[in-house]
Amino acid sequence: MYRALFPSALHTFLLISTFTTIISAAGPDGKRTTKCKVKRKDSQGVLIAQNPTPVQNAAPSPPAQTTSNPTSTQIVNGNQNETLLTFTRLPPFDYQNRKVRGVNLGGWFLMEPWITPSMFEKTGNEGIVDEYTFGQYQDRGYASGLLQQHWATWYTEQDFIEMASVGLNHIRLPISYWSVPIDQDTGPYITGAWPYILQALDWANAHGLYVILDLHGAPGSQNGFDNSGQRTGQPSWAYDQAFLDRTLNVLDAIGRQVGDKVEVIELLNEISGFRDQQWVDAAKRFWQAGYDRIRAAAGGDVKIMIGDAFLGVHSWDGYLKSGQGVMMDLHVYQIFSNDELRRSWDDHVSFMCNRVSEFTSYTSNNLWLVMGEWSNAITDCAKYLNGRGVGARWDGTYTPGGGEVLGTCQGMTGSYTTFSEDYKRFLRKYWETQVSVAEKVNGWVYWTWKAENADDWSYQKGVEAGFIPRNPDDRLYPNICG
């Protein structure tokens, strides 16, 4: 597919220092050209909670949907500058010979209560546990205003600058089906995120970050988790072909509208293949159909990502092997069962190291493999991690009436200022272990860049605290897995 140049656009940036004209010409390798002309200016059934009347114009206006890049704004040192920025598409990423080093931008275009608990707590309604109920149990105008403010502020261009500055080359951007502007039934979900999504894609490209655009929530819910948009014990995506067809229509629109702005399109996050054979069969049909839709809509340049549906990568041996530019997404956490939580710190490291052969044997005969979600967390202590109103297995509050207590949550999550020096040293070791294993294959995408109050999950805070290096090549344990 032809990789069109982005049109020139006027961006408003507030930069750290005063600039004159800056011109960086493209070299023979075709890398991004940036031209900057800067002008300095000195000068589930519950009652709906009663919501305050929304303040008129309280929410920021969404970025304009135009063929040019949207306007962006930064404020640094109180100075405002205007920048004329033009750039070409990033050159294709070499997945065969380079390693993906990325972060997820969780909780932005599909909210999760544990990432931004304040968004849910400010509703004053404990029945609001996901984006479905966020729109269902509130005045829609009020809910829309809250989300517009969230989309405009939870991530800003400064985040993209920081991500690039710490050696990352990819972002994985989770989005929801109801955010894609097509004629579809979106139920109680609040729409309107698409202009902000387009802005995020432009920011990523401007700062040298390749995008994995991840469809994270599908009609009927593909897993019943709050991160699909709807927390439910009875997800129905796989049981109704109409839901699969609607999801394919969303993918078709994504391919047509932004297939030339992203490096990878992930067809759907975390299909719950563990439920029964019908879910397994639906996943297999969907991956092939989704692959065909994206190729028809976006051509052959964009890469396509599928997932293991919680079945293990070798359950997919030979699948889509003949496809063009396909990769497998594997998510690795060691915290969502008591057996995993009982592991000692050294056991967590050993368990990860012991997966090297599993990873490399898959990629040697199948697809590229990227560890697309993982974190430094070794407990499930982050508030609302298991769902709003649900406690943690670690401290025994997960089970109503009490359960096995494995430890205290104090000093294990929240602010890193409460972490012991031993704990921070272990987090560095654990980060290096997981990176080392993932880079035996095609790389990794950490979950997540930031969270309101869970620094054990935050890449940003990990760098700030020193248990994640500013340069991923810096290793204190270079031979951790032998």
Positions marked catalytic: 270, 373
Write the CA distances from 474 to 166, 438, 469, integer angstroms: 11, 16, 6
Residues 6+ apart with CB under 8 A from 156: 74
Cβ pair 140, 179 in contact under 8 A:
no
Helix or strand run (H / E) with residue 428: helix 421-438
Q: How far apart are CA 375 and CA 56, in angstroms?
A: 40
C-alpha pair distances (Å), 218 with each of 34, 169, 268: 37, 27, 8
- Alpha carbon distance 313, 328 (integer Å): 8
Query: How far is residue 147's CA from residue 217's CA, in Å, rounded to a whole number?
Result: 17
Q: Cis omega (within 30 of 0) on the bond before 86?
A: no
CB neighbour list of residue 90: distance below 8 Å, 6 or more residues apart = 31, 32, 205, 208, 210, 263
